[in-house]
Structures are given as C-alpha cells and as structure tokens.
Amino acid sequence: MTAFDFDLFVIGVGSGGVRAARMSAQYGAKVATAEDKFMGGTCVNVGCIPKKLFVYASHYKDDFEEARGYGWQPNTAEFEWNTLLANKNQEIARLNGIYEGLLRNAGVTHFSGRARIKDAHTILIGDREITTEKILIATGGWPTKQDIPGASLMITSNEAFYLEDLPQRALVVGGGYIAVEFAGIFAGLGVKTELAYRGPLFLRGFDDDVRHRVADELDKKGIELAFNASLVAVERQESGGLLATFEDGRQLETDLILAATGRKPAVEDLGLENVKVAQRDNGAIIVDEDYQTSEPNIFALGDVTDRVQLTPVAIEEAMCFASTQFLGQRKVMNYDGIATAVFCQPNIATVGLTEQEARDRYPSISIYRSSFRALKATLSGSQEQSLMKLIVDDETDRVIGIHMVGSEAGEIIQGLAVAMKAGATKAIFDETVGIHPTAAEEFVTMRTSVST
C-alpha cells in the first residue's frame, strides 16, 4: 500500500491534464486533479472551441452576400451578438460537464481550488494538505500584454469571448495566429477593424507564400493592415473610446483594443519555489523526453513547457506520460510532422517544412505551387484566391512540406498529413486520382515545379 494519499496529482484540467489523469487512472493509478479556473482548460473555454464558433459566425456575412450569385434573393440579415454569446456559453457549459464526467467516470478525485506545491510530495488546497507520489503540472498558458502606459485598458483573447457588447471599431495588436483570427472574426461581424503588428509581415514562422497570401486576402476583406507599427500607449478619451498611439506618432481612435502579443506559461503561485524545478527565463518548466523535471517525481506537459502549443500535442504528451509512468510501456512522442491550422479567413493549414526551412536543410528541393479561385467563386463573385503548395526533397522525392490557404484547409491537410507522415513521395501524389470537382484534387494534379 502506498504511503501517499494518491499515486498522481495533476494540477490543471485542460486537455492534457484531463487525458493524463484519465489514462493514468485507467492504468491502475489512484489519481487526483485540481483546478481553480475552468474545467477543460484554455481550448474548451477561451481557445479553440469558442474561437472556431466565432469564426463560423463571422463567415455568414460572406455566405449571405455570395448566395446572390446562386439565385438566392437578398433578405435583411441582422446579427445579434447576445444570441451568439449565449449559445456559445451554453455549448461551453455542456463541454465543461463532459470533462467533469470524464474524470468522475474514470475514478479520479477532483478538487476545485488553487493547488500549490508545498514540497515534492505535498499539495496544498486552501488549508488542506494532500500527499502524492508523483505530481504532474499541466496548467497551460496565459495571455500577456505589452508593458506600456494604458495597458490595463486593453483586453486579451480571454475577455474577447465574453464581451457584453460588440464594438463598432476594434484594434487588434499582434502578429500571431490569435491576432489574425480575431481580426477576421471582428471584421466578419461588422466591426471596423485594424490589425497592427510591429514587424514587416505577420505569421512569423509560417511559409512566406502563405503569409503574403493571407495578407492579400485580409486586405480584400476590408481589414486595415498596419505593419512596422509598434503600439506605445493607450488612453481613455472623454467620449469613452480609446486612443492608441504608435511609435511613429500615428494615433488611432477606437472602441476596443485586443492585445494578442503572446502567451506565457501559467506558473505563478504554484509553489515552484518550494521544489527544485528548473525553468526557462519566461517561466516555462524544463522537462526531458519523458516530461520529467529536475525534481524526479514532478512532471509537466502541454503549454506550461512552452514547446509546441497545440491541444492535440498536449493530449499526445499525456498519453505518452501515462503509458510510461503507469502502464510500464515507455512511449516517447515524435514531434516531427505535426500539422496545424489557423482559422483566419481564408483558413491556413500546414504540415512539414516551410520553403526556407527546406532550403536550409536539403541540398536540392522542388516547389509545386498553385493559386486559383475556387469553383464556388465563379458564380458567387468572390475574389478570394486559394493557395496550395508542395515542397519536395529532390534526392528522395519525398514530400516534406504541404501548405494551403483556402476554405476548409484544415480538413484537407489533415488527410495529407497522414500521407506525409507515412513517407509519401511526389510520385505517389501524382499517381493518386483526384476527386473532381474539389479544391483538394489540386494537390495531386500539380505536375510542374515552379522553382528548385
């Protein structure tokens, strides 16, 4: 019999924490969890799920306009923010209940409250002490703001999901996927929107062709793009609005400013000072390939380690952790070939290397690229241009990068990610018969390289 109350105590019940707790319990461990914010973590409450619901909502404006080309007569369509908000909240509450049920049905003991580490084997929740053989930290990340005058007047993505009223004007500050997605959401819902980024082009780390295409498409949708624009101050005006001042002296009057300038590991007030857990300068917990920290019985996974910040990655890390620690079968995650999507409008999806990464890594590559208006646009009148791109290693003929900008890009790239993971060559793509008429068939019909 163990000398501890539990075999495993998981701090944080986001996607990674819940999966680790459930699977560890399934493998025979006595498991407890704790959470002081919301069941399901960032993804369920203030991330992936509500964000995509908002993206769906914001795209109906385009759908209504494009329907005319297909014979549908225009009708008055009025958007009700409160209806969207209430329905979104109802869905999130349903998912919260599902996560709670998953833990309960797995036999996991859950504590509502802030968990703090007293020592390597003791957790404090309020005045209660709980002992555990192993601790897993899965507290995720938290949005940050710039340290500038008036920063408190800005909101983050957390608050954006619970706005009481939709603003008439909005400024989104940042150049990552969250900034680009929310700029599209606000604009699609009828908000006059500007996206300001301190660099020359947003979405750093994505393929350059993708970045340029998205910039072109957002411009078509009426989003004001301000590059090389560093916000230096925010002030409240007598009218109730906000005044944004940029480094070059330009000023912008707006009703709302969303700071989407980054996220940091959520490690504050965890009691890490009481144990020997090494961290990086930004607070990220340092772990090895088994998610073990420098304190042997304390582990961490997901966004709190600040490696690949994606929900499916945290879930797979949790599977590896549980298998290794409680099933007796060591499982190490392979981080190569992780596909991802950005739900801007149009969508981005990508897997593998960018063109620049491929050129840096391989002596000779070939690029296949196609740009076109989708069939639907021929009658709808939409001027949106899709982009599809394959990157091939000339020596092995293997496809090493796949990129897309266009409708349902994530749905299309998911299947191609499997092919790339399996080592598919360009010859196999060429031998594959396309499904016609679809946008996806373009990936198996590109025959001529545009550059080498």
Q: How many residues does the chain have?
A: 452
The span from the CA of 258 to the CA of 267, in Å, is 23
Three-class HEC string of 241-289:
CEEEEECCCCEEEECEEEECCCEEECCCCCCHHHCCCCECCCCCECCCC
CA distances from 293 to 32, 141, 196, 289, 298 (A): 20, 18, 38, 10, 6
| Selection from 17, 391, 348, 414 nearest residue 206 by Cα | 348
Instruction: Map tokens 């301000």 to a residue.
Output: 226
- Cβ neighbors of 43 (< 8 A, separation 6 or more) are 14, 15, 49, 311
Q: For residues 190 and 216, is the Cβ–Cβ distance under 8 A?
A: no
Report which residue type is found at 199: G
Q: Are strands 365-372 and 386-393 parallel, antiparallel or unpaired?
A: antiparallel
403 is catalytic: no
Residue type, 414: Q
Residue 251's DSSP bridge partners are: 245
58 Cβ partners below 8 Å, 6+ apart? 184, 185, 186, 187, 188, 189, 345
- From CA 187, how far away is CA 208, in angstroms rounded? 24
Q: Which helix (H) or strand (E) is 88 found in, with range?
A: helix 81-105
Catalytic pick among 110, 212, 403, 436: 436
Task: Enter the tokens of residue 322.
Answer: 């549980």
Q: Which of 290, 44, 267 is nearest to 158 (CA)?
A: 44
Strand order in the sheet with 192-196: 224-226, 192-196, 169-173, 256-259
Contact predicate 226/194, CB 8 Å: yes
Residues marked active site are found at: 436
